[in-house]
Every structure is written in C-alpha cells, then in structure tokens.
Structure 1
Amino acid sequence: MTRETCCSSFFKNSKPYMGMISLQFGYAGMNIITKISLNGGMSHYVLVVYRHAFATAVIAPFAFFFERKAQPRITFRVFVQVFILGLLGPVIDQNFYYAGLKLTSPTFSCAMSNMLPALTFVLAIICRMEKVEMKKVIYQAKVVGTIITVAGAMLMTLYKGPLVEMAWSKHRQSQTAATSSAATETSERDWVIGCILLIIATLAWAALFILQKAALKTYSNHQLSLTTLVCFTGTLQAIVVTFVMERRTSVWRIGWDMNLLAAAYAGIVTSSISYYVQGLVMKSKGPVFATAFSPLMMIIVAIMGSFILAERIYLGGMIGAVIIIVGLYSFLWGNYKEEREAKMKRQLEETPQIGVNDSAQVNGNTQLMIESRNEVNGNIEMPKAGADKLRSVAIDLPTCHPPMH
C-alpha cells in the first residue's frame, strides 16, 4: 500500500469523527450567543422561527441544484416522517432547550444534554436499531461508557467543589461579581423548572436521531432535500406555536444586533449544516455514534463561557470533564470494535470457498498454460541449451490462482 493510499484511507475513515467534533464547536458557539440574546430579552419562540427560516433559505438552493434529479416521492408515510421531524426538532427540542437555557446556564444546559447518548442508546434498542449482548466485551464497553459519560455530567451538575481560578477570567470575574450573584439567585428559584425543560428537550433530541435514521432510508441520496423539508416544516410549525404563545407583535422585531446574529448563526451552523452532517454520519455510523460526541460540547462551552460570559469553573466541573472523556472513549472503542467485527463477518460471508473441482480446474489451467508456453518455445529457432533453459524457467514459474474476493 502506497503512502498516498494510506493517507487517503485515513482521511476517509476519520471524516465522521472530524465532522462530529466540528459540530460540537458549532453547538458550543450557539449556546454562548443564544444565552446572550435571551438575556437581552429575545423570545425563544421567535428565535426558533428565525433560526429555521435562515436554515431553509441557506440549504434550499443547494438541494435544488445538486439533488433535483430523481427526487423520492413524498408519500403519506414520508410526509408524516418529515412532519414529526419538524415537530421534534424546532417545536419541542429547541423551544424547551432555549427555555431551560434561559433559566439555567450554558454549561449546565450542556451537562444535561450529555444524557443524550444514553437516551438514544435506549431508544435505539427499543426500535431494534442497536443490539446488546452483555456477554461480549464490546457491548459492555458501550454500556459502561454511556453510564460513565452520564455520571460525569451529573457530577458536574451536583458537585461544584472549590473555585478554579483561570488567568484569563480572573479580571472579568471581579468586574461581574454582582451580576453573577444576582443571576445565580434567579436561576436557583427556577432551577427545577429548567431541569425538567432540558430533560424533555433531550428526549425529543434523541427521538429526532432515531426517526432521522429511518427517514434517511428514503432520502439516502438526497440528504440536502430532507434537511430542507425538515427546516421548512419546522419553520411553519414554529410560526403557529409563536402566534399561540406570544400575543405581542413587538417580539417579532429584530435589528442588526445580537438577536440577528443568534438567529443567523443558529440557522446556518446548527440547523442546516448540522442536520446535513448528522445525516451523513448516521448513514454510515448510526445514531448512537453521532450522539456520543455531545459531551465534548459541554467542555468547549465551559471554556468559552469562562472567556466570554465570565462563568466560574469549579473543580467538580474539571473532574467531571475528565470522567466524560473516559466514558466517551470507552463507548467509541466498543463502537469501533463492533463495526470491525461486523465488517470481518461480511467479508467472510462474501468470500467464495474453493472446492475440489475448483482446485482441479485451477491446476488444469496452470498445466495447460505451461504446455502452451513449451509449444511456443519449441517453434522458436534457438540453440538447444537456450531452449532447455527457457523451458526450465517456464516450468518453475509460480502457480497462478484467481484472486479471492
């Protein structure tokens, strides 16, 4: 195998990992920007509408130009799938998540979201998209890794420990001590409500992954089209919900400020791009693999929050982050071994077995080839010693077997 082939193979195998890690940075930025916008008074219902309107406007042209041929028929079953995907994503998941984010903090909201791999794993087992054989080490690693990941997230939530002073945030923390104290008191009053909202959002998010995997069977070659349909349907549903929940027309006003940035960033990065990348990853790796990277978002948000929002980082959070990384790699190791085992099994099933008749035919073809080569050598006029030497070389050639697939 050449060096170029090795590099190409490595890049191809690492694309799902790089895609999901990049998405976590995008999600982390969305949490920070959205928190600033919500604290400024923007309605989360309106934010969801604008977010998916931006997403639809961005992704629709790509779907039209690249996937307009051989579009799947929109049957009643496909329509129901798209409708439910729009309901789970924009209406339930994001509205409840934004409401919980407003009542808590970005780091805490991300910590609650780390239940996503466990909930998705359970839903995938119920829907028979994942199998568990606890006698095998690979499945034990997946289950234990998921439990460790959730335990690390819960540790960050329940145990703070002493404050860890960061050199870059020490100055800002002293300036915003009074504001942080007031925000902490407010969040403590609404902490329970925020936790419930975040749990509901996580459940909807897990169900979205499962249903999106089923919808990709129809749109296996039209991921952009599926993303456009989901974003457009979600926009219409979010508009209806906003009209019901928000009676004031002033909430729809948006200018060249943080509210516009939050809506555009969330729509372009964490809706259109993320839906498409998630679909590609789930098509090759499955829904549980896609959700296993969500703990990284919490670590990124904790670091970015200390820079931008002057959030305080405690020892419990750092210990929880290390535990989450351990659980994440345990899960990924089990997932990698499971895929490798399944790949080897498929190769064994596809490899033809050579029987006695096949071996005889191969040997016969080899003998015929040698005899033909000798006849050719006999027709060529050359010295007797040279002819004998050439025959000797021809007979000593290695036996050629047909390649095994």
Structure 2
Amino acid sequence: MALSNNQKAYLAMVFMQLLYAGMALLSKAALNKGMSCLVFVVYRQATATLAMAPFACIVERKKASSLSLAVFCKIFLLALFGPTLSMDLYYIALRHTTATFASASINVIPAMTFLIAIILRMETVDWRRIYGQSKILGVVLCLGGAVVLSLYQGPSLQILHWHVLLASRPGGSFISFHGEEEMKTLVKGPLLMFLAFVAWSTWVIMQAKMLKDYKAKLSLTTLQCLLSTIQTGVIAVAFDRNLDSWRLGWNLQLISVIYCGLFVSGVSYWLQLWCIEKKGPVYVAMFSPLSVLITAIIAAVVWAELLYLGSILGGVLIIGGLYCVLWGKSKEVRHVSVENVASEAPKDKMVDIETV
C-alpha cells in the first residue's frame, strides 16, 4: 500500500530524529577524545559534500536551476547560518556541557521557529479556532516535556537488568564533565547552545524561502555543505593552527565524522528540505523533541543507562504536544482548503452564467 505524503513526512522526520540522537552521542564521545570541535565540523561538512555530490549530479543534472549571483549569495548566507554557525557554536558548546543537556536543549527549537515564522507571517495562529489553540498547546506541552526530561529525575525504573554493573552507576548523562570543570562551564555551554539554536531556527526558516528560488533539493544540500566546508575551514584555520588537530586515525573520531557527515549533514539535511517543502518549517521543527526521548531510550537499551520516571513523563508530554501540533496543522489545512473552495465557487457560477 502506497504511503501518503503526510505519512512519508512523518516517517522521514522520525528517522531524522534517530540520526540526530546518534549525532549527540557520537560527537560528544569524539570531542572527549581530544578532537578539535572546529576541525570536526570541517571534516563533517567535507564528508557530506563528497557523499552527496555524485547523487546531485546524477539525479538532478537536468532538474537543477540556473545558479545566478543572487541565488548563490542566498545559498552562501544559508550555509553560513545553518551548517557553519549553528554547528560551530553547537560543538563548542558541547565541549562545555553534556550530551544529555545538548539533546534536551534542542527542544527550544520548536518554540523559537514557531515565533520567527509568526513574525515573518509564514505561520498563522487563529486564537479563535480549535486548531490554532491546539498548535499553541502542542508547543507548550513539548517545552514542558523538555523541562521535565531535563530537570526532573524521579525514581529509577528497574526494567533493564542485563548489565548489572553498568546499570548500577548513576544516570543523568551519557558522557559528562565532573566537579570543578562542570561548574566553570555551567553558563558558557548553555549560552553558546542557545545561540546555536537561534542560528538553526533562522536557517530552517530561510530554507523555506530558498526553495522558491532553487527547487533542486539535492543540489541545494550539496552546495550548502560545500560552502560550509570552505567557511568552517577558514574559521578552523584562524582559531586552531595546531596541525595535530587535523589528524584522523582509525578510531571513534573517524567513525563520528563519517556518521555525522554522511547521515546528518547529508541525508537528514535533504530530508529536512523535502519536509519543509511539503509541510513547512514549523512542522519540521516540532519533531526536534523526539531526539531527547530517542537518546534516553538508546542509552537505556544499548548502554543499560538507568531509566527514570522523569524521562517517561517528559516523553509522554513531548509525544502529546507533537500530536496536538500535527492535529492542529491537519485541521488548519482542511479548513483553509474548504474556505478556498467556498470563495471560488461564486466565481465559477458567474463564469457559467456569462458563457450561457
């Protein structure tokens, strides 16, 4: 049975959040091994460019739009806000915080994107309609779930026991700093993370506008990765001139670079563009909280991290909020389509009368 566009978009976004959950865990592990965060972004974007370029050339060699100077400048700014600034700030912040906090703080993206979209009139909220109220309630529930998941631990749930020694250690973060170092970076990490997500939300909104000028999504993804490789390369050379930082071995750092470059910067960026074109930027941003829940589940199943009541409650709120927004969006689309049909009906009748 063929899937509808709504089902495809939903599955694509869930798959994206799976990729992002893996990114937070692997990236933190690579950075803890001493890899330069700025160099990491360069290698990640370069890997994505090399992986996506052949597909873009083969699939869209006839479909790609002409690249004028104005369009190129827009793509340059798009790459600067998204893959460059947001990723550099994210990984610098990741050096000063934990993977759990990084994953949890992603949940500011839906509200931030929603607000920017309203300001730019790309998203409407009809307070009088139930679908408008549902969208607002969904955003509030997602943010509430993120707060619960991040700040409330509660009692542990004794569900998984196959790694007794691992399960007996305290939970709370997958790979974390301890003691004085954590206290020193308590403000710096969250502040940089917040700025990274401001840049990310702006990037998601800008992509929705960019797709009107350049519709070849694979080529657009590849161009962004290419330009970001150059931009992040300049930044890395300017701030990290240690040649040892650029060396990669057959280790966890290489695995993390390949994973983040191929699957996150490559596949997920393309899926994101496709979903933005079909459903809009706010729809895409609303799935961000799922990565927190997925990260907690992966840690519990694979590494036998203790699962706490706060994680379950936060997950329920996040899923409930996501459902409210998706329900509100679907009702809004139906309402708008019905209104459009109703407004066009008199015109059709007038045409029929004139032809008679």
**What TM-score, normalized by structure 2, do the two folds share?**
0.91
RMSD: 2.5
Question: What is the SS of the residue equivalent to 1:103?
Answer: coil
Match of 1:96 in 2: 89
Q: Displacement of 1:163 after TM fit?
A: 3.3
Mapped partners of 2:176, 2:341: distance in 1: 62
Match of 1:26 in 2: 19
Match of 2:322 in 1: 328
Q: How does 1:216-227 map to 2 (within 5 A)?
A: 216-220=211-215, 222-227=216-221
Q: How does 1:270-309 map to 2 (within 5 A)?
A: 270-308=264-302
Mapped partners of 1:139, 1:172: distance in 2: 46
Is 1:207 equivalent to 2:202 in the alignment?
yes
Match of 1:116 in 2: 109
Mapped partners of 2:31, 2:70: distance in 1: 37
Contact 2:166 2:305 in 1 (8 A): no
Contact 2:71 2:214 in 1 (8 A): no
Q: Which amino acid aligns with 1:101?
A: L
Q: Matched residue pairs, number?
A: 352
Q: Quote the sequence identity (%).
A: 37
Q: Displacement of 1:248 after TM fit?
A: 0.5
Is 1:141 equivalent to 2:119 in the alignment?
no
Extract unaligned runs of 5+ from structure 1.
1-6, 362-405
Q: How does 1:248-263 map to 2 (within 5 A)?
A: 248-263=242-257
Mapped partners of 1:343, 1:169: distance in 2: 54
Match of 1:61 among 54, 59, 70: 54
Q: Specify whether residues 239 and 350 from structure 1 end up closer, same or farther in structure 2 by C-alpha distance, changes over 3 A only.
A: same
Q: Specify whether residues 124 and 181 from structure 1 end up closer, same or farther in structure 2 by C-alpha distance, changes over 3 A only.
A: closer
Residue deviations 1:285-324 (CA, integer Å, cap 9, x gap): 0000011111111001012123455544432232122111
Q: Specify whether residues 299 and 181 from structure 1 end up closer, same or farther in structure 2 by C-alpha distance, changes over 3 A only.
A: closer
Mapped partners of 1:66, 1:168: distance in 2: 47
Match of 1:266 in 2: 260
Match of 1:192 in 2: 187
Is 1:171 equivalent to 2:165 in the alignment?
yes
Q: Specify whether residues 72 and 290 from structure 1 end up closer, same or farther in structure 2 by C-alpha distance, changes over 3 A only.
A: same
Q: Specify whether residues 163 and 242 from structure 1 end up closer, same or farther in structure 2 by C-alpha distance, changes over 3 A only.
A: same
Mapped partners of 2:259, 2:82: distance in 1: 17
Q: Displacement of 1:156 after TM fit?
A: 2.0
Mapped partners of 1:312, 1:98: distance in 2: 26
Contact 1:141 1:333 in 2 (8 A): yes
Is 1:340 equivalent to 2:334 in the alignment?
yes
Q: Specify whether residues 112 and 354 from structure 1 end up closer, same or farther in structure 2 by C-alpha distance, changes over 3 A only.
A: same
Q: Specify whether residues 13 and 357 from structure 1 end up closer, same or farther in structure 2 by C-alpha distance, changes over 3 A only.
A: closer
Match of 2:6 in 1: 13
Q: Which amino acid aligns with 1:194?
A: G
Q: Displacement of 1:38 after TM fit?
A: 1.2
Mapped partners of 1:194, 1:283: distance in 2: 33
Contact 2:99 2:175 in 1 (8 A): no
Question: What is the SS of the residue equivalent to 2:177?
Answer: helix
Q: Specify whether residues 212 and 341 from structure 1 end up closer, same or farther in structure 2 by C-alpha distance, changes over 3 A only.
A: same
Larger Rg: 1
Mapped partners of 2:35, 2:261: distance in 1: 16
Q: How does 1:221-260 map to 2 (within 5 A)?
A: 222-260=216-254
Match of 2:44 in 1: 51
Extract unaligned runs of 5+ from structure 2.
none
Q: Which amino acid aligns with 1:209?
A: V
Match of 1:395 in 2: none
Match of 1:151 among 127, 144, 153: 144
Mapped partners of 1:30, 1:45: distance in 2: 16
- Bigger mean CA offset, 117-126 vs 150-159: 150-159
Q: Which amino acid aligns with 1:24?
A: Q
Q: Which amino acid aligns with 2:321?
A: G
Contact 2:82 2:199 in 1 (8 A): yes
Q: Specify whether residues 136 and 181 from structure 1 end up closer, same or farther in structure 2 by C-alpha distance, changes over 3 A only.
A: closer
Is 1:183 equivalent to 2:197 in the alignment?
no
Q: Displacement of 1:202 after TM fit?
A: 1.0
Q: Specify whether residues 309 and 183 from structure 1 end up closer, same or farther in structure 2 by C-alpha distance, changes over 3 A only.
A: farther
Contact 1:168 1:307 in 2 (8 A): no
Match of 2:29 in 1: 36
Q: Displacement of 1:231 after TM fit?
A: 0.4
Q: Specify whether residues 296 and 108 from structure 1 end up closer, same or farther in structure 2 by C-alpha distance, changes over 3 A only.
A: same
Q: Displacement of 1:11 after TM fit?
A: 3.6
Q: Which amino acid aligns with 1:332?
A: L
Q: How does 1:73-84 map to 2 (within 5 A)?
A: 73-84=66-77
Q: Which amino acid aligns with 1:191?
A: L
